Amino acid sequence: MITTPLILDQIRRHGEATYPEECCGFLLGTADEDNQATALHQVPNRQEDRRTHRYTITPADYRNADEAARARGLDIVGMYHSHPDHPAQPSATDLAEATFPGYTYVIVSVTSGTATDLTAWTLAPDRSAFLQESITTEASAATR
């Protein structure tokens, strides 16, 4: 995926803010050969319990995010969540709950409250595994 240093910083800060629970949110931008994320849409972790190990985004949150994206002429191009005290690798749960190939799934590892590794993944077309994506950063337009 292509994004900006600010977006990556925002994801890390979100993960630190919700530590030791997982954070989650949407990547907004444009979908081309590479997903380009130019904005974030944070959402609350709707998981009832075990928010330190699980995250859930409701359809209502998806619809709000989709509306927010369209209002800015953008699309939902992926999701992000944090792994508190766990590597930035997709877990078995991540794979089991994966949605459509083509979304970029960003995972940030937060160790003892400090964001460390940040990785990006996409679901293989046959849904058998997550494939790692490169992350390219470039400065871009105004963000708020």
**From the CB of 46, what's the least distance to other proteins, in Å?**
9
Sign of CA dihedral 106, 109, 110, 116: negative
By DSSP bridging, strand 136-137 and strand 130-133 are unpaired
Q: In whole angstroms, how close is the CB of 61 to other proteins at the nearest point? A: 8
Residue 143 sits in the site that holds other proteins (CB under 8 A): yes
Q: Which of 17, 34, 44, 47 binds other proteins (CB under 8 A)?
A: 47
Asked whether the beta carbons of 107 and 89 are under 8 A apart, the reply is yes
Q: What is the side-by-side strand order in the sheet with 75-84?
A: 130-133, 114-123, 104-111, 75-84, 24-31, 35-43, 2-3, 136-137
By CB under 8 A, name the one of 2, 14, 37, 103 that touches other proteins: 103
Task: Check: CB of residue 123 under 8 Å from CB of residue 130.
Answer: yes
Task: Measure the CA–CA gap between 51 and 134, rounded to whole angstroms.
Answer: 28
Q: Which is nearer to other proteins, 26 or 134 (CB)?
A: 26
Cβ at position 62, least distance to other proteins in Å: 5
The owner of tokens 């190939």 is 101
Do 55 and 90 touch, CB atoms closer than 8 A? Answer: no
Q: Per-residue x/- marks for other proteins, 62-101, CB under 8 A? A: xx--x--------xxx-x-x--------xxxxx--xxxxx
- In the shown chain, the binding pattern of residues 4 to 23 toward other proteins, with x for contact by CB under 8 A and - for none, equals xxx--xx--x----------
Write out the residues near other proteins by the rule CB under 8 A: 4-6, 9-10, 13, 24, 31, 47, 53-59, 62-63, 66, 75-77, 79, 81, 90-94, 97-103, 105, 139-144
